[in-house]
Amino acid sequence: MLDYALLGFLNYGSMTGYELKQNMEGSTSHFWTAKLSQIYTTLKAMEKKGWVRSSIQAQKERPDKRVYTITAEGRSSLQKWLAEPLTELAHHKNTLLLKLFFAAQTDRETTLALLHLQKNLHQRQADFYRTKSRDLIQSIVQRSPALEKEVIFWEATRRFGELYEEMYVNWLDETIKSLEEKL
């Protein structure tokens, strides 16, 4: 799966593993991340499959770097993947819900503390999507009008984050209230 994320970026231009990581941090990281070590091994595997090829670029005063370029095969794999429909619901593990499910086996205060801490985290994250994340996308569209089409999609993924975190905070409020009443 990470292969396709990397192909998606490389289709915009050749890059090193290190640069791919940086690109992911600033964009897909909220719904797809990978450690550098995994990126490096995945790129190697992709080269073996013929999806990318690499060449070493010497640099003065900086370590040499290995620049990856997408191949025609890589492009067609990416296209094929993008065209494949998602026919099933994704299923996400959620530790908070797991703890909550068994929370009758612990005390009221522990559970309320758990929920309050989460509320704090999710509020900050909601705020991040509403401000920093939003501004970043706006600044891209101003600097690079050529990316107008991509920005539509990037904005859609940001908006998901915003709605998700708002829903989370609402649910936490509701749940906290319910426990305060019923326990």
Partner DNA sequence: CGCACCATGTAATGCGTTACATGATTTT
Partner DNA sequence: AAAATCATGTAACGCATTACATGGTGCG
**Interface residues with DNA (CB under 7 A)?**
1-2, 16-19, 22, 33-38, 40-41, 43-44, 59, 61-67, 93
Closest by CA to 65, choosing from 9, 5, 17, 24, is: 17
Interface of this chain with a second copy, residues 1 to 40, rule: CB under 8 A: 1, 4-5, 8, 11, 27-28, 30-33
CA atoms within 13 A on the CB side of 100: 16
C-alpha dihedral sign at 31, 36, 41, 44: positive
- Angstrom CA distances, 123 to 87, 129, 134, stand at 32, 10, 16
- Token pair belonging to 57: 């670029």
- Token pair belonging to 25: 């941090």
Choose from DNA, a second copy, none: what does 41 bind? Cβ within 5-8 Å by kind.
DNA
Choose from a second copy, DNA, none: what does 128 bind? Cβ within 5-8 Å by kind.
none
- Contact residue for a second copy among 20, 39, 70, 78 (CB under 8 A): 78
Binding mask 160-179 for a second copy (x = CB under 8 A): x--xx-xx--xx--xx--xx
Beta bridge partners of 148: none
Helix H or strand E segment including 66: strand 65-70
Choose from a second copy, DNA, none: what does 90 bind? Cβ within 5-8 Å by kind.
a second copy
Interface of this chain with a second copy, residues 101 to 140, rule: CB under 8 A: 101-106, 110, 113-114, 117-118, 121-122, 125
Q: How many CB atoms lie within 10 A of CB 35?
A: 9
- Token pair belonging to 46: 């992709």
Q: What distance in Å separates the CA atoms of residue 41 and residue 77, rounded to the nearest whole number?
A: 19
Q: In whole angstroms, how close is the CB of 51 to DNA at the nearest point?
A: 13
Residues contributing to the site for a second copy (CB under 8 A): 1, 4-5, 8, 11, 27-28, 30-33, 78-79, 81-83, 85-106, 110, 113-114, 117-118, 121-122, 125, 149-150, 152-154, 156-157, 159-160, 163-164, 166-167, 170-171, 174-175, 178-179, 182-183
